[in-house]
Amino acid sequence: MSSDNTQHPDHGATDAETRTNQRHKARMARKKTVIDARIAQASRDKGLVLILTGNGKGKSSSAFGMVGRSLGHGLRVGVCQFIKSRTDTGEEAFFSHQPGVAWHVLGDGFTWDTQDRQQDIATSKRGWEVARHMLADPAINVVVLDELTYLLNYGYLDTAAVLTAIRARPVDQHVIITGRAASPELCALADTVSEIEDVKHAYRGGIQAQKGIDL
């Protein structure tokens, strides 16, 4: 009888390693059965509404990750960047020149920079017109509404009108919405909602926004 340290004749593994490997194989086979069944159940195509919310970093950059994926498949993408007015970001420099992308920076700066509610409302309404046309255009496969939640949460746009336009979009069009504190109404409309937790951020360690990471 071999001990746990005995070399297995076939692969050079000890008996203990062989038993571990067999248990792993059996566990993975059970897992595969469950995952394959789930994949088989999820067989429909549909234009999705995705929400990336929460206080942690990674909301907009996740949306732009999906822009890259979409372009890789030859899809057409429309991006509306609300709130922000800067046009020197890496994402804009890269994506706005790609074929198949309509990129719009529609903000006036953060509300604490403008400090002018009427101006913010006027800017938001102008920006929303661009978004509304995208949501009615069947030639656009993916629409990104970056930082939209703030416009709804501050009451700059009428939530009911925004939800109606999203519901009435072409059936196979995907919509990706980012921003903190997505409302329950918005989340109820979405198919996928991810809340990113702020565990730690370099900014609080005195590190300014870094090219490629933050802009």
Residues in touch with Mg ion (CB under 5 A):
59-60
Q: Which tokens hold the place of 40?
A: 């088989």
17 vs 214 by CB, closer to ligand ATP: 214
Q: How far is the CB of 209 from Mg ion (least distance, A)?
A: 12
Q: Which of 35, 136, 198, 207 binds ligand ATP (CB under 6 A)?
A: 198
Q: Which tokens hold the place of 114?
A: 């403008």
Contacts (Cβ under 8 Å, ≥6 apart) of 40: none
Q: How far is the CB of 146 from ligand ATP (least distance, A)?
A: 8
Distance CA 117, CA 154 (A): 9
- Binding part of the chain for ligand ATP, among 22-30, 40-48, 57-65, 166-174 by CB under 6 A, reads 57-65
Residue nearest Mg ion, CB atom distance:
60
Q: CA nearest 184: which of 48, 47, 53?
A: 53
Q: How far is the CB of 35 from Mg ion (least distance, A)?
A: 32
CA distances 59 to 18, 108, 147, 186, 212, Å, are 44, 20, 9, 16, 15
Does 125 bind ligand ATP (CB under 6 A)? Our answer is no
Q: How far is the CB of 37 from ligand ATP (least distance, A)?
A: 34
- Is residue 67 within 8 Å of residue 90, measured between CB atoms? no
Q: CA nearest 153: which of 185, 127, 128, 108?
A: 185
Does 201 bind ligand ATP (CB under 6 A)? Our answer is yes
| Interaction partner, residue 169 (ligand ATP, Mg ion, none; CB < 5-8 Å by kind) | none
Q: Which tokens hold the place of 156?
A: 């700059």
Distance CA 211, CA 119 (A): 30
60 vs 173 by CB, closer to ligand ATP: 60
| Interaction partner, residue 214 (ligand ATP, Mg ion, none; CB < 5-8 Å by kind) | ligand ATP
| Interaction site with ligand ATP (CB under 6 A) | 55-61, 178, 198, 201, 203, 209, 214-215
